[in-house]
Amino acid sequence: MMKTGTVALFLALTVVCVGARYRYAPGPVGNPCRLPPDAGYSQGICPRWYYDTRLRSCRQFNYGCCGGNANNFKTRRLCEDVCGEDILCPLWVCDVGACTIQTCPNFPKATCFAPCPCSSVWIYNGEDVTDRCNN
């Protein structure tokens, strides 16, 4: 029979491992649009877009198709929608704040961005999957 301390350690390690694998978090800390472009590791060349804070615009780069960081979008429009400087957020009070749901059920590895305090955008593999999160 296992001792209580051993069971507690096992459960704690299980939670840490499962949490790390499925990223139960509302997204990266800070603004992903401020991250430098990261080509990831190469399994080919996938053209992608990143937000360049110095130029204040979205720029194309060659992504290695794996790894990298959250400043990585499949289309220029998606990059501009998430990171654009001209995003005007409404001034109303939210019933539910952005990115308060911990995961997108259909895409558990998706990352949540909050372009405005009341709106969440879920990105998976450079694509906006927000409309498919609860379907």
Q: What is the pLDDT of residues 15-69, one digit of tens each?
A: 333 333 333 333 444 578 888 999 998 888 999 999 998 888 899 999 999 888 8
**Distance between the two ends of the chain, CA-based, in angstroms?**
44
Instruction: Using a pLDDT cut of 90, give the percent of the chain over it.
Output: 19
Q: What are phi and psi of 2, to 5 degrees?
A: -75, 145
If one compares 128 and 13, the residue with the highest pLDDT of the two is 128
Strands (E), 1-135: 41-52, 57-66, 111-116, 119-124, 127-128
The angle formed by the CA atoms of residues 112, 114 and 120, to the nearest 5 degrees, is 65
In order of start, what are the domains of the chain with their CATH numbers?
26-132 (4.10.410.10)
Instruction: Check residue 117 and give its pLDDT.
Output: 74
Buried-state track 11-41, b at ≥16 Cβ within 10 A, e below 16:
eeeeeeeeeeeeeeebbeeeebbebebbbbe
pTM above 0.75, yes or no: no
User: Reduced to 3 states, what is the DSSP secondary structure of residue 5?
Assistant: helix
